Amino acid sequence: MSAAAEKILATTLARVVAVERETHDTFTLSVTPVEGEPPEPFQPGQFSMVYVFGVGELPISISGDPADTERLVYTVRSVGQATHALVSRKPGDVIGVRGPFGTAWPVKEARGKDVLIVAGGIGLAPLRPVIYHVLRNRDDYVRLIVLYGARSPRDLLYRKQLAEWGRAPDTQVLVTVDYGGLSWRGHVGVVTTLFRQLRLHPAETVAFICGPEIMMRYVIRMLEARGVAPQDIYLSMERNMKCGAGFCGHCQLGPYFVCKDGPVFSYRQMQPWLDLHEL
Amino acid sequence: MESKSLEEILREHPFLQGFKPEHIRKMAEMALEVQFARDQIIFREGQESGLFFLILSGKVALEVSAPGRILRVQTLEAGEELGWSSVLGEGGKHFQARSLETVRALAFEGARLRQACEQDPSFGYALMRQLLRVVAERLQATRLQLLDLYAPRAAKLI
């Protein structure tokens, strides 16, 4: 086996140092290597293969601050056996981590422009590192606009941070839920309805989108209708990733392996494949 | 408020983008400025309300009653429209509308709007075209809501 393949397949032991409940079914775990070097630096948008011993291995986006060199942070929604086992870890427990893998949001290319982030549901997690990055390098960007949609108020991630980000200079954070109760006084409606409150400068905007694929398709239509060019639209795709390195082929999408060539793609790359039925 | 001021306000409202000046004037002649306090019920589900509103400021929630609870299904804000079914003049309101904060709006009597449409087909076409756009946007948003895109995958298996 080549050294490169060995590195890809090498699992690092990591200790859970904190588990924070985000919603009724979603938790944020912070981990640090059990011994040796600090975790390998990651770029916004990349993911790790996280191994819950005896249960299974999962691709999980890194949701922490790229400038935090001490720990890796994952926001995980408990939807199946392996994710349930992962969010049930307690501080002190040990898991396995491979990576980081995959392509990153092109934050360098977005310098000097407005950064528009559109996230749905758990899709905010892989975009949070971009928000950290932009806020940390504020002079490199013009406006930061975050549009975030969730199923209901109780499904909103990072609620305190959303409020904090919204108070930052030249930053607009608009949050919506598909359904609200009487106690919710915020916006109600799908995330595309937030576009009516936006004044976009399409030629000066780079859009990063992550969420359910149908949501992303509708968001792209809104962006195109407002004049944002396909090459300025990026999205994070999800497919059934298994190996994280393009070996197994589970995540193939057209000519791409999502784990290796993605998960972040430009819309120009994805355009032929997004509208294909049953792909 | 003077008619001229109303015309200016209407000219800036997204609903009337693309309207001819004479159509905006006609709308201004029919407009009545209204204000709703926070948490005021603007109309109730099933109520025969004949008013169509263009929201100027504030936020309105559309609500539907379910056994034991009220669900908010949409919010409308400045630049949006409320009560489009009044223009059709058929049946009661589909939802309850409640102001979530102080709301300023321009109100139009649905019957007067219909009359103006019949008298001036050019105005009628412009108004109905915009209404159709609003209804189409709401229909698309409702379909997306119904898809329940953020539900856990396991729960979506049928």
The Cα of A213 is separated from the nearest Cα of chain B by a number of Å equal to 9
Domain count, chain B: 1
Of B73, B77, B150, the CB nearest to A197: B77
**Residue B4 pLDDT level (bands cut at 50, 70, 90):** low
- pTM of structure: 0.89
Kindly state whether residue B23 falls inside one of the protein's structural domains.
no
Q: Which residues contact A267 (CB under 8 A, 6 or more apart)?
A: A220, A230, A231, A233, A234, A235, A274
Kindly state whether residue B14 falls inside one of the protein's structural domains.
no
Is the minimum CB–CB distance between B146 and chain A shorter than 8 Å? Answer: no
Where are chain A's structural domains?
A: 3-101, 114-236
What average pLDDT score do residues B19-43 get? 95
The domain made up of A114-236 has a fold known as Rossmann fold (3.40.50)
The Cα of A120 is separated from the nearest Cα of chain B by a number of Å equal to 7
β-bridge pairing B41-43 and B96-99: antiparallel
Kindly state whether residue B1 falls inside one of the protein's structural domains.
no
For residue A215, which residues of chain B lie inside 8 Å, CB to CB? 144, 149
Tell me: the pLDDT tens digits for B100-122?
999 999 999 999 999 999 999 99
The domain made up of A3-101 has a fold known as Elongation Factor Tu (Ef-tu); domain 3 (2.40.30)
Beta strands (DSSP E) in A71-143 are 72-77, 94-101, 114-120
- Count of CB contacts below 8 A, A vs B? 79
> Based on the number of CB atoms within 10 Å of its own CB, is B128 exposed (0-12), middle (13-18) or buried (19 or more)?
middle
CB–CB of A181 and B72 under 8 A? yes
**Residue B157 pLDDT level (bands cut at 50, 70, 90):** very low
Q: Cβ(B95)–Cβ(B73) under 8 Å?
A: yes
Same fold for the pair A3-101 and A114-236: no
pLDDT at A277: 59
- Write down the residue that tokens 């948490």 correspond to: B39
pLDDT at B90: 75
**Residue B22 pLDDT level (bands cut at 50, 70, 90):** very high
Is the minimum CB–CB distance between B72 and chain A shorter than 8 Å? Answer: yes
Task: Give percent above pLDDT 90 in chain B.
Answer: 66
Of A187, A211, A214, the CB nearest to B75: A187
The whole-chain average pLDDT of chain B stands at 89
Distance of alpha carbon A269 from alpha carbon B117, whole angstroms: 48
Using 70 as the pLDDT threshold, list the residues of chain A that sit under it. Answer: 1, 276-279
Degrees to nearest 5, angle at CA A260 with A256 and A261? 45
Q: Could you list the residue range(s) of the whole structural domain that residue B111 is in?
A: 34-143
Report whether pLDDT(B156) > 60. Answer: no
Is the minimum CB–CB distance between B139 and chain A shorter than 8 Å? Answer: no
CATH of the domain at B74: 2.60.120.10
